[in-house]
Amino acid sequence: MKSYPDPPAGLVVEHDGSVLRLRLDRPDRRNALTDDMVLALIEVIEAAGSDESVRVIALSASGEHFCSGFDLAGRGGETEKPRAGATQRRMRWQVNRLVPTMLETQTPIVVAATGWVVGLGLHVVLASDFAVVAGDARLRAPFTAMGFTPDSGGSWLIPRLAGIARAKEMIMLGREVSGADAATWGLVHRAVPANEVAPTADALVAELAGAATVAVGLSKLLIHRGLGVDLERHLADEALAIEVSSRSDDFHEYPRARHEKRDPKFEGR
């Protein structure tokens, strides 16, 4: 089991057996993300990806709202005008690393979200593997309404999940989407009443914590990598994944359980 650094204010990290639980904890700011929180999320998710004791990451938030986006107010007070290009230089090492880290880790990520799911908070939800949202949650990419453009991968994620026409509606027109519509569009895994979000997400976390972890992680890798390669390369990646997963202990557990007429007990090895 790895030891994780103390998280910054606004982020709670709990290692609960095979589950790493992350919670946004700034309810007074609708859980708006700070620079320190973003960097900590990147660091913790990267570390969890190589932590043999972690089989699933569960991400939630305190209070009524999941996340209202990035807290721009926290960057106020600079007395000296930065050099040209400062924004893109900062984004490269900071916020633009978060979504790729979530997509590339083989550890599955389950998100539970209610209330506001806005901006960077929306992108975090969309980059998870299984997002359970409240039917009345408010999903929005508000960038053009504020006079600027999407960041952190939003204009990459939304068209791939919901299609170009709906992406233009969300991004170019800034339209708000309910959690129920988001599920219908394929943006999220499932929408349920607000009081059922936590237990529904917890059930998914428990299922993944008891799944064949090696096979699940490699399947995630194949799905995301397959979006950017041709079929020949993808078939080669599939062959390699089968080679690795078929050498796992969990692969051998399945026929044993079937022979013994019991449910398999996967250990994630």
Please state, in angstroms and rounded to a whole number, the distance separating the CA atoms of residues 4 and 145.
38
* Res 151: pLDDT: 86
One domain for residues 232 and 174: no
In sequence order, the 6+-apart residues with CB closer than 8 A to the CB of 209 are 17, 18, 19, 55, 56
* Res 2: pLDDT: 74
Q: What is the DSSP letter of 266?
A: -
* Res 148: pLDDT: 84
One domain for residues 204 and 221: no
pTM, 2 dp: 0.91
Q: Is 68:139 a contact under the CB 8 Å cutoff? A: no
Q: How many separate domains does the chain show?
A: 2
- By CB atoms closer than 10 A (0-12, 13-18, 19+), residue 231 is exposed
One domain for residues 238 and 146: no
DSSP character string of 14-68: EEETTEEEEEE--GGGTTPBPHHHHHHHHHHHHHHHT-TT--EEEEEESSS-SB-
* Res 146: pLDDT: 87
Helix (H) or strand (E) holding 140: strand 138-140
Please state, in angstroms and rounded to a whole number, the distance separating the CA atoms of residues 89 and 152.
13
* Res 184: pLDDT: 97
In sequence order, the 6+-apart residues with CB closer than 8 A to the CB of 86 are none
One domain for residues 70 and 142: yes
One domain for residues 174 and 53: yes
Residue 73 lies in a domain: yes
One domain for residues 255 and 149: no
CATH of the domain at 139: 3.90.226.10
One domain for residues 232 and 158: no
Q: What are phi and psi of 220, to 5 degrees?
A: -60, -45
168, 193, 209 — which closes off a domain?
209
Residue 264 lies in a domain: no
One domain for residues 138 and 168: yes
169, 192, 209 — which closes off a domain?
209
Paired tokens of 152: 């952190």
One domain for residues 192 and 218: no
Successive 10-residue mean pLDDT values, the chain, 269 residues: 84 95 97 95 95 96 96 66 61 78 97 97 98 98 88 93 96 96 97 98 97 96 94 96 94 91 90
Residue 4 lies in a domain: no
One domain for residues 192 and 165: yes
* Res 127: pLDDT: 97
In sequence order, the 6+-apart residues with CB closer than 8 A to the CB of 137 are 66, 113, 114, 115, 116, 117, 178, 179, 182, 191, 194
Residue 134 lies in a domain: yes
Residue 268 lies in a domain: no
Residue 41 lies in a domain: yes
Q: How big is the CA angle at 41 (ends 58 and 80), to the nearest 5 degrees?
A: 150
Residue 31 lies in a domain: yes
One domain for residues 230 and 249: yes
Please state, in angstroms and rounded to a whole number, the distance separating the CA atoms of residues 189 and 161.
11
One domain for residues 109 and 63: yes
- Beta-ladder partners of 93: none
Closest CA to 60 of 9, 107, 20: 20
Please state, in angstroms and rounded to a whole number, the distance separating the CA atoms of residues 7 and 9.
7
Host domain of residue 125: 11-209
Residue 265 lies in a domain: no
CA torsion angle for 129, 130, 131, 134 (degrees, to 10)?
A: 170
